[in-house]
Structures are given as C-alpha cells and as structure tokens.
Amino acid sequence: MSDVAASPNRRRGIVSLTLMAGIMLVGLHIAIGLLTLVWLPYEPNAFTGGRLEGASLAHWVGTDRLGRDLFTQLMIGSRIALTVGLGAVAIGATIGVSIGILAAFASRWLDDALAATLDILIAFPTLLIAMLVVAASDTASLGSAIVALGIALSAIVARLTRILAKRVLVMDYITAARTSGSSWPKIVAIHVLPNIWPTLSVNFALQFGLAVIAEASLSYLGLGAPPPNASWGRMLQEAQGTVYTAPLGAIAPGIALVSLAIGVNLLADGLRARIDAARTLS
Amino acid sequence: MTSRPLLFVAALLAGASFSAIALGQGFNPDASIRIGSLYEPQNLDNTAGAGQGINEAFNGNVYEALFQLTDAGTVEPRLVESYEASEDGLTYTFKLKEGVTFHSGDPLTAADVKYSIERVTAEASKSSRKRSLSTIAGIETPDDQTVVITLSARSISLPYNLSYVWIVNDAAGDITSAEDGTGPYTLAEWRRGSALALSRFDGYWGEAPSNGEVIYTYFTDATALNNALLTNAIDIITSVQSPDSLAQFSGNPSYTVTEGASTTKELLAYNDRVAPFDNVKVRKALARATDKARLLNSIWGDYGTLIGSFVPPTDPWYVDLTGVDAYDVESAKALLAEAGYPDGFTFTLDTPDYDPHPIVAQFLQTEYAKIGVTVNINIITANEWYTKIYQERNFEATLQEHVNHRDIVFYGNPDFYWGYNNPDVVKLIADAEAAGSEAEQFEKLTEANKIIAEDAASNWLYLYPQIVVSAANVTGYPVNGLNSQFFAYDIEKAQ
C-alpha cells in the first residue's frame, strides 16, 4: 500500500525536473530576447572584426565573413525565434480552435467535410504549406513567415480541438446544460474550453517548437525574414560554405535552435505529465 | 592575413603553364588525367544550350575553331594558315591548314567551315554568340582550302568571334550526343550525370597531347568535389568557388593551388533609366561609399582582384581605373547632397538567392546606411532575375555576376537591362567594331572604358579569382579559364 501512496509523489518529482529544465531553457531565451530590446554587445550589422574570426573576449563566438559579431546576431535570433513562435501559435490557435469548435458543433455533413479537409491539410508537411503561403505573398518578410506558419499549424490545432470538444459534448452535464436552455456560445465558454484547455496548451507548446524550427528552415531556404533580420536559419545557411574553416558559425546557431526546441518540448512534456498526474489524482 | 604558399600567376603571363615544375621528372605520356568539375554539360552541342560545361570539356580539346582564344587572352590562328582582309574591311579571305582531318577520317574542307558558321547563325541556334556574327552577309568557298566571308559592316572582332565557332564536319549531323571535330581528343564515353571521357586522337594534325586520356567527372556540390581530390579520386578541380574550402589544400605539399585571372565580375547594376540612378552624382556617391577592398576580403579572403570598371585585366582595353571614385565616405555624402539627396534615399536591391549575392547585399546595406541611403533587400531566384530584370527591366538596382570575356560592348547598347545610355560611349563602341586596325579598336574601347568609369555607369565591386587546385604531380593546365575553357592537351602527370 505504501508503494501506491508514494507513486504520485515520485511522479511529481520527475514532472518538476522536466518542467524546470524546460522553463529554464525557454526562460533563458526569453531573457535574452528581452535584453536585445535594450542592450546589444555591438551594432548588429556593423563590421566590428575581421573575416571569420574565432572566439575571443571581444567576440564570444567569433565573427562572420563580413566581420559582424555572431553573438549579437545569435541574441537577435532568440528574439526573432520567440516572435515567430508566439505569432505563429497565436494565429494557428485562433484559426484552429475556431474551426475545431465549429466542426464539433456543426451538422453531420459539415463536420465530415471539415474533418476530411483537415485530414488532407495535415497530410501536407507544415513546411510545405508555409512555403506555399510565402510564395503566394509578394515579398518575404517576418510577417509573411509568421502568417504562413500560423496557417500551416492551424489545421493540426483544429483537428485536435474538434476531437477534444466532441469528447466533451457527449458528457451528461452538457446535455443538462442544453436542456436547461444554454446557448452554444455559452456552452463553449463555460464547459468546453475550460475542459479542453490543458491538453490544448500542451499542444500549443509543441506547435511553438515546430514553428521555431520551421522558421529556421524557411530562412535557411531564403524564404524567411530578409536581411538584416538575423535568423538562426539564415546564419546556418551563410555558415554552410565556411563550416570547415569557421565551424563556430554553424555550431552556435545550431545549438541555439536546438536548445530552444528542446526547452519547449521539455516544457510541453512537463506540463502534460503534471496534467496527467492531476487527472490521476482526481 | 596569413600568407599561404600560393603560386600566384599573373594573368598576362603568356603560355601560363606549369610544365616547368615537373623539372627533371619524366611524365607519363599515356597518363589518365581526371578532372573534377561542377558544370556538367546538358548535351554536347554548344549551339543547343549545353551550358558552360561543354566549353570546359570540348573547346580546343575535341573541337577547334579557325582561331583560338588562348589562356592568356590573345587570339591566335588555329585551323587557319593565313588570312587577309580587304581594304574596306568587308571581305575576309581565310586559307585553311593542310592535312587536317576530322575524327571520322574526313578531311577538313572549306565547306565544313561554311557549314559550321551557319550552324551558329542559324535560326534554331541558341548560341550566345549569334548576335556578334550577325554582320556576316555571305560565305563563299572558291576551293577546298579557301573561305571568303563578306560582311555587311566592318567587324574588327571577326577573328575573335570566330574563336567561338567550333569547326564541325558537315556530314556529322546531330552532335548533341556525338561529336566529329578536329581536336587532339575524341569522345570516348559520355555517361550522363557522372562523367565524360576523352581519349587521344592519333590522327591529330598538330602536336600530340602529353597525356593519353582525360576524364571529366561531374559533381553537384563543392564539398563532394573537394573530398574527391582529397581521396585521390580526381587530379584537378577546375574552378574553386569559395576560399574556405582551400584551407584543406593550401600549405599541403601534396596539392598545388593556382590563382589565375577570371573574367567574372560582381556588379551592383543600377537601373540607369530611373531616379535617382539616372543622376551620375548619385551613382558616383554610391561608388565612393563602397569599401570594395573590405568586401573582396569578406567574400574571397586573400584572393580576387579589385576593378575600377567592367573591364578585367585580360581584356586588351584594360586600364587601371580603381582610382576613379575611390572609397571616400565624406565625399560620397557631399556628392549626395549636391545631387539633391542630403538626407539620402531608399531603394530596393533585387538580390539573386545564391552565393555570394545575399552576403554582398548585406554588406552594401551596412555601407550605404553610413551615408543615409537605406537598402531594402529583396531576394529573388535566378529565373525571377531573368524575367523581372533582364527582360522587363522592372527594378531599381540588382546584383549579378557577369562572366563573359570582352563584354564592355554591353555598355554600347542602350537597350541592355541596366539602361546606360551615353551617346559618346555608344558611338565609340560602334566605331571600335568598325575600326580599320586593332590599335584603333583598342584605343576607342579604352576611351569608352574610361568614360563608363567616370560615369559610374554601374558599381563594379570586384573580379572573381580563378582558382585551380590539383594534385602536386599534375602540371601544365590552364590557369585563367577564360570563357570557361580548360585546355587539357598540355597536362602532364609525373610518373
């Protein structure tokens, strides 16, 4: 019996560790991103050193071909990655949750049509949809990248919302609310959203990680924010040709990208474990 | 800057070959020379859109022309024994070399020459040289060894332009996947997508090649190409595209790195038709605000050459114009103010998406911010460049690499994409083509060269280096690579 009683506690211990690591990594990037708004080591595009200098006290991760400080660019990269992640998830969540709820409440045939459309959209890789959206807009910009990724993510969110909402809608208390005359916006606001929110928020965290990596991929392909925005993807692309002579130029943005992606995933995992534990307990 | 044991070869060194290095060592006359390249030809016919790779493999090796553009940039007779121009410059009479045979065994006759020129000027031809041969009004063949070309207007560059015309057997038919030339090599095998093998032609009229066969192996990325040389899968890399891959080879006695002259110029081309770039003061201000030495070092490290105009040192009308509009930020600001832009202006720079253009664009963005000029970088694909800029001229400024040899003539064409229109230059370039002597032609083109530099018609950023890397036991290859040529017949491999 004592084993059973100890198990939720131990679980909570593991939960906190994962969650803590996630919060620390993401927090670090958020702190750096905020710091760039008020302070930077160098002017981001000024030629402050020689060609492809190595790490030094003056340039912590060296310089690029034009002699620009890579650490400054990495810091700005944090801000851009967070902006894109937040923006894309906000757009994806707004569109996705709206469509998902609509589908859950819709008549049979409309629901089927929406579900089929979502399945088709999800069959396309996120990056491919984002590339199509960017290509359709006239010029690549940070805004177009955010919108493109937001649209690409919305299908995944919509499908999840629809499934979760449908599961809630068959509950007895919903039937009770309906028979007592509650309007459907009220049911959504009071019963559906609060119930599906924990699972959705975990998903948003995962989508955030996806968006950050997808933005780096877009920039790597030259479809992301144009220069002088220092995106990690563009830094990786520019360092490709000099990877043997100046490996830091590729390693540093790679580590930055991976640390944020891992941080967000740990955060999502930690959240999910905590939600599961709370459910088990209740 | 670290010094590297680099064999620097001045562009104008005649001969420009390294056979002297193999001093005392014998070379293997039947050696197989393995050349690694990034430029696989699309087909084997240079009038059928085969790309620069076919020039690299076939020019001078499989096919010969009446004249040859040598690696040093001079034009010399090849299949022509002698020639003369009439007093009015409208009739050229060429005597062909005796005893020349095609690989199929047929002898070279005047009819083959007529056929070959007409292949290039034909309706269906995709040759980039078609336009320069448009003054040819008629070709006659009074006997098997004599060709008479009549022109509609004087054309001093005729011998030069004929150096691009492969002499093909008139019985050869389709040569997109076969060949019948007169060169020192015959095509042994072509494996599409991977390799092209040439073997020595024993019936060659001239001096026999100093190797037995030449194999061009094609790669799609530079890293794989470098690795092939490091693992001894190839002997030579024809054209290195970044200084950073050279670190593996320079300083290593197993390899030879040579820097020659290229004709590839990196250009900030303004649309000279539109404001503010129609104002010469604005163009001069931007030229003076560009630290070209720093840019060249950023892109090419210790390699490459600074140029003050569109003309590289291998063109006969080259003069050093790097002093015109030299780097001087203060005078750039003053000029902008004189032009009516004391607070600068904003323009969009259409930037092709491949290296080095995006990084060059960022460099210019930072440089011009210093004089108050804002640059918006718009990344486009090579195809978009062709339609938006080259065809529709719908742009303010763009970056482009211009690879051609002797291409100052583009500034004599007001309809060209950059829209530079100076009647003096148009006249000088037209008069140069109609000149009675080469001296007169050179004089007029030198004059035109100086005017475009003074007008800052475009912003000529730098000249690419031509870098060849080889295994140390291989010598005698061309170092300049003009017009993408890579003559293989003098290459020697030590035993």
Cα gap B450→B428, rounded to integer Å: 11
Cα gap A143→B107, rounded to integer Å: 67
Which residue is closest to A224 within chain B, CA to CA? B379
Q: What is the pLDDT of residue A80?
A: 93
Closest partner residue to A45 (CB to CB) among B248, B355, B362 is B362
Percentage of chain B surpassing pLDDT 90?
75
Q: Clarify whether residues B152 and B202 are in a common domain.
A: no
Q: Is the pLDDT of residue B113 over 70?
A: yes
| A201 assigned to some structural domain | yes
What CA–CA distances, in Å, run from B354 to A29, A144, A229, A237?
31, 21, 18, 11
Pairing of strands B32-37, B236-237: parallel
Q: What is the pLDDT of residue B23?
A: 46
> Minimum mean pLDDT among A105-114, A130-139, B8-17, B447-456: which range?
B8-17
Q: What is the pLDDT of residue B178?
A: 94
Residues of A in contact with B355 (CB under 8 A): 241
User: What pTM was computed for the model?
Assistant: 0.82
Closest partner residue to B242 (CB to CB) among A140, A226, A241 is A241
The whole-angstrom distance between residue A17's C-alpha and the CA centroid of its chain comes to 21
- Interface probe for A, chosen from B225, B244, B300 (most Cβ of A below 10 Å), is B244
B247 to A246: CB separation less than 8 angstroms, yes or no? no
Compute the nearest-CA separation of A42 from chain B (Å): 13
- Return the structure tokens found at A126: 């996120």
Q: In this structure, what DSSP letter does residue B106 have?
A: P
| B476 assigned to some structural domain | yes
Compute how many other C-beta atoms are within 10 angstroms of the C-beta atom of residue A1.
5
Question: For B69-109, what is each residue's pLDDT tens digit?
Answer: 999 888 999 999 999 999 999 999 999 999 999 999 999 99
* For range B225-233, the mean pLDDT: 92
Which residue is closest to B292 within chain A, CA to CA? A66
- Going by pLDDT thresholds of 50, 70 and 90, the confidence category of residue A282 is low
Q: Clarify whether residues B252 and B276 are in a common domain.
A: no
Which residue is closest to A48 within chain B, CA to CA? B366
User: At residue B248, what are phi and psi to the nearest 5 degrees?
Assistant: -70, -20
pLDDT, chain A, mean:
88
Instruction: For residue A191, give its domain range.
Output: 12-42+53-281
* For range B43-57, the mean pLDDT: 87
Which residue is closest to B352 within chain A, CA to CA? A222
CATH (domain of A170): 1.10.3720.10
Q: Is the pLDDT of residue B368 over 90?
A: yes
What are residue B148's DSSP bridge partners? B93, B140
Q: What is the pLDDT of residue B4?
A: 37
What are residue B35's DSSP bridge partners? B216, B236
Quote the Cα angle for B249-B254-B257, to 5°.
Answer: 45
Q: What is the pLDDT of residue A224?
A: 81
Interface of B to A at Cβ within 8 Å reads 222, 242, 244-245, 247-248, 294, 297-299, 301, 353, 355, 358-359, 361-363, 365-366, 369, 376-379
Is the ipTM above a cut-off of 0.85? no
Q: Clarify whether residues B270 and B283 are in a common domain.
A: yes
Q: What is the pLDDT of residue B25?
A: 57
Q: Clarify whether residues B352 and B286 are in a common domain.
A: yes
Q: Which of the two residues, A276 and B13, has the higher pLDDT score?
A: A276
> Per the structure, how many domains does chain B have?
3
Q: Clarify whether residues B403 and B485 are in a common domain.
A: no
Interface of A to B at Cβ within 8 Å reads 45-47, 51-52, 65-67, 139-140, 222, 226-228, 238, 241-242, 244-246
A244 to B247: CB separation less than 8 angstroms, yes or no? yes
> Per the structure, how many domains does chain A have?
1
B248 to A226: CB separation less than 8 angstroms, yes or no? no
CATH (domain of B88): 3.90.76.10
A67 to B245: CB separation less than 8 angstroms, yes or no? no
| A48 assigned to some structural domain | no
Residues of A in contact with B379 (CB under 8 A): 140, 222, 226
Instruction: For residue B407, give its domain range.
Output: 265-463
Q: Clarify whether residues B477 and B458 are in a common domain.
A: no
Q: Clarify whether residues B271 and B304 are in a common domain.
A: yes
Omega of the bond prior to B414 within 30 degrees of 0, cis?
no
Q: What is the pLDDT of residue B13?
A: 37
Residues of B in contact with A227 (CB under 8 A): 358, 361-362, 365, 377
| B377 assigned to some structural domain | yes
What single-letter amino acid sits at B395? F
Q: Clarify whether residues B311 and B458 are in a common domain.
A: yes
Question: For A27-79, what is each residue's pLDDT tens digit?
Answer: 999 999 999 999 999 998 899 999 999 999 999 999 999 999 999 999 999 99
A226 to B363: CB separation less than 8 angstroms, yes or no? no
Cα gap A173→A192, rounded to integer Å: 11
Q: What is the pLDDT of residue B464?
A: 93
- Going by pLDDT thresholds of 50, 70 and 90, the confidence category of residue B24 is very low
CATH (domain of B238): 3.40.190.10
- Interface probe for A, chosen from B353, B363, B461 (most Cβ of A below 10 Å), is B363
- Going by pLDDT thresholds of 50, 70 and 90, the confidence category of residue A133 is confident
Cα gap A51→B280, rounded to integer Å: 33
What are residue B85's DSSP bridge partners? B92
| B27 assigned to some structural domain | no
B366 to A246: CB separation less than 8 angstroms, yes or no? no
Secondary structure (H, E, C), B162-205: HCCCCCCCCCCCCCCCCCCCCCCEEEEEEECCCEEEEEECCCCC
Q: In this structure, what DSSP letter does residue A1 have?
A: -
B353 to A45: CB separation less than 8 angstroms, yes or no? no
Compute the nearest-CA separation of A46 from chain B (Å): 7
Omega of the bond prior to A125 within 30 degrees of 0, cis?
no
Cα gap B94→B112, rounded to integer Å: 13
Question: For B276-311, what is each residue's pLDDT tens digit?
Answer: 999 999 999 999 999 999 999 999 998 999 999 999
| B360 assigned to some structural domain | yes
Q: Clarify whether residues B245 and B113 are in a common domain.
A: no
- Going by pLDDT thresholds of 50, 70 and 90, the confidence category of residue B20 is very low
Nearest alpha carbon to residue B462 among B284, B356, B325, B304: B304
Burial of B457 (0-12, 13-18, 19+ CB in 10 A): buried
Question: For A1-25, what is each residue's pLDDT tens digit?
Answer: 444 444 454 555 555 789 999 999 9
